[in-house]
Structure 1
Amino acid sequence: MSKSTYINLALVVCAALLLMLALACSSDSEPETVSVKLALDWYPNSNHLGLYIAQNKGYFADENLDVELYTPVDPSTVLQTVGAGQDDFGISYQPDVLMARAQGVPVVSIAGMVQHPLNSVMALKSSGIERPSDLVGKKVGYPGLPTDEPLLETMLKADGANGLGDVELVRVGFNLTESLISGTVDAVVGAYWTHESILLENLDHPVNILKVQDWGVPDYYELVLVASEKYIEEQSDVIERFTRALSKGFADAISDPQAGVNILIDASNQEVDRAIEGPGADLLVPLWKTDEANFGVQTNARWVGFASWMQETGLLSQEVDASKAFTDEFIK
């Protein structure tokens, strides 16, 4: 065999080795596509803009994730389905996560999606109710959620009233706006100031809003992204990819919330009311990223402080280690 033949053969072998190495590196750097399922807390709305933007703009696809977003028939089951592994991710609420963990459901918050409470006490401006003490002797409607009465009692006491005994509670379910307009009640607790207040304003019934954190209730995260302890242990790479894409989606929502609303309307298979979700998105922008924290950030102080309040008010069936109810591992 001639010298030139040896050289040519060596070049072919080197080229083959380089190709194999390149393919191996490509395989290592390009994770396989993973299908994940996320259960929403409610029908698609402005709280979810970052999710739908990440879906629409291919941020999930860029992370090799095939993401299904859906609303369960019964959204109150989200923590149970996530804890049982039937859903990979879910959207829920900080109080609910703590109550679920008290009952042994192994769910963990991996991102604080809305940095402050949306829950509020709401009354028509024409009622003259401007602070909790103005509720004394009045009828207050509530949905019937576990947190309704402790929130209201804390607010009343913070403003010098004796507590729930000073008001007449009327269970109205989720007919909060209807019960206010009809005069069935004088005020409601459990209404979102980014939703019901806009709906009422659009119906020519402007309201006064009493935010829970302004009247004695410890600050907390309204919406949180959750996964199970098992999923966090076994699929940390998937969670990192998911939260990276989600953060990009919410960065876009913060920059241009109305473009996000357009995407939400186009993507949702359910009716979305632009007249509510448009203004709602504008109100949410400073809650997705605050002066103190970037999107998704959670603190131990916030979790421990709110859990202590829940313990004091009897919302927790047993003591919960709040520091284990969340992780800051995946939000950079």
Structure 2
Amino acid sequence: MKRMKILSLGLISLWLMALTLTACGGSPPTSQEAAPATDTQTSTPAKGLKDVKVVLDWTPNTNHTGLYVAKDKGFYEKAGLNVQIVQPGSGGADQMVASNAAPFGISYQEGVTQARTQGVPLVSIAAVIQHNTSGFAAPVDRGIKSPKDFEGKKYGGWGSPVEEAVMKSIMDSDKGDVSKVKIINMGNADYFTAVKRDIDFAWIFYAWTGIEAQLRGEPLDMLYVKDYSKSLDYYTPVIVSNEQTIKNDPELVKAFMDATAQGYEYTIAHPEEAADILSKAVPELDKKLVLASQKWLSPRYQDDAAQWGVQKPEVWQNYSDWMYERKLLSKPLEVDKAFTNGFLPKR
């Protein structure tokens, strides 16, 4: 399975172009980063249920388990919904949701932030994970124990301005010099292949690639970006909808979120059973990896929040200010329009 990636500003630009071209009747550009739009789970529409699509950000993994649990346990059906979980097309999940090709999708705070400042009507309606579990990872034999140790090393990325900005931010805190890092565009290369062949470190989600490294017996040094700046403790991933759906069908959003919250709450309480549900729904996944990842991730979905899915305005403000100060945004973010907790169930 290809490694999970953080959405880059380069990809955001691609789907913004795709959205514009689609609106103008043209053909959107293709991206090698996104998989074709395909069902990840077959379903037979039940009589009287409303058909709803939710688009994943990448191939199925434990960030998405709550969706599969909500479907398997009948939470969606009880809410009156026949939910189809699909992988993104060439334009990506954000483009599909923003253009209303699907009412719901999985995105990232950085993607929504960039989109909102460019007039794209995405709205985050829940945080899947309460704290950022991503960071820079290197095999232990590279000796990368702190950000300053990036100096003289080769970083494998995907060519986005945000990568160097994040790297510079955490290296500055350690008196390091980002200009001394050799940045290589590794594209879709598998992390484990790349670190043996081309690079010393890369940006990963620990819940998947980090856990896989444990199972392979290839220990990592992991530098979580949130540990170096509160501005980098942003929500990744998030569940998104669009302004049109929220305005025209708020009851749909409420029903979807109530059932989805039940799915993630069940996954928090029953990680082993939830892992089995995901593995059965997506049998091509490595069952050992799914189980180990789920055990690590389940307590981190809600973490220290009052309930699963809650988003704090200061998290959105801190990260968008960080982006704007580094000229990664064309204008400041209107935080109160970027997210809402209004569709989370009352607990």
Indicate the TM-score class for this superposition, using the shorter chain for normalisation. Answer: 0.7 to 0.9
Alignment partners' CA distance in 2, 1:101 and 1:146: 18
2:80 maps to which residue? 64
SS across alignment from 2:92: helix
2:196 alignment counterpart: 181
Residues 193-230 of structure 1, C-alpha deviations (whole Å, 9 max, x = no match) = 11112222333321010000112251110111111111
CA contact (8 A) 2:230 2:318 kept: no
CA contact (8 A) 1:41 1:92 kept: yes
Task: Select the residue among 275, 299, 303 that pairs with 1:286.
Answer: 299
What SS does the aligned partner of 1:121 have? Answer: strand
Of 105, 113, 128, which aligns to 2:120? Answer: 105
Aligned ranges 1:217-232 → 2 under 5 Å: 218=231, 219-232=233-246
Matched residues, number: 296
Letter in 2 for 1:222: T
Q: Which runs of 5+ in 2 are unaligned?
A: 1-47
User: Residue 203 of structure 1 aligns to which amino acid in structure 2?
Assistant: R
Match of 2:224 among 211, 222, 228: 211
Q: How many angstroms apart in 2 are the aligned matches of 1:198 and 1:263?
A: 19
Task: Say whether 1:52 aligns with 2:72.
Answer: no
Among 119, 137, 142, the alignment partner of 2:134 is 119
Q: Would you say the 8 A contact 1:79–1:92 is kept in 2?
A: yes
Structure 1 segment 27-42 matched on structure 2, within 5 A: 33-42=49-58
Partner of 1:28: none
* Corresponding letter in the other structure for 2:55: A
Q: Deviations over 1:215-272 (max 9, x none)?
A: 225111011111111100111111111111111111110011121111111122x611
Is it true that 1:240 corresponds to 2:267 in the alignment? no
Question: Which one-letter code corresponds to 2:112 in the other structure?
Answer: V
- Matches of 1:173 and 1:151, distance apart in 2: 19
Match of 2:218, SS?
coil
**Where in structure 1 do 4 or more consecutive aligned residues deviate above 6 Å?**
none
Superposition pairs for residues 1-332 of structure 1, below 5 Å?
33-74=49-90, 77-162=92-177, 164-175=178-189, 176-182=191-197, 184-188=198-202, 190-216=203-229, 218=231, 219-268=233-282, 271-331=284-344, 332=346
Q: Offset of 1:323 from its aligned partner?
A: 2.0
Distance of 1:177 and 1:217 partners within structure 2: 29
Deviations 1:168-188 (A, max 9, x none): 111112322211123x22211
Q: Distance in 1 between matches of 2:161 and 2:336?
A: 22
CA contact (8 A) 2:130 2:305 kept: no
Q: Distance in 1 between matches of 2:263 and 2:246?
A: 22
* Alpha-carbon distance, 1:70 to partner: 0.6
Name 2:14's counterpart in structure 1: none
Aligned partner of 2:42 in structure 1 is none
Q: CA deviation at 1:80?
A: 1.5
Instruction: Output the TM-score relative to the length of structure 1.
Output: 0.85
Contact 1:110/1:326 (<8 A) preserved: yes
Deviation per CA, 1:110-151: give whole Å up to 9, x if none.
111111112210011122211101111211111334432221
Kindly provide the amino acid, as one letter, of the partner of residue 143 in structure 2: G
Partner of 1:20: none
Q: Deviations over 1:293-316 (max 9, x none)?
A: 311000111111111011112221
CA distance in 2, matches of 1:145, 1:177: 21
- Alpha-carbon offset, residue 152 of structure 1: 1.1
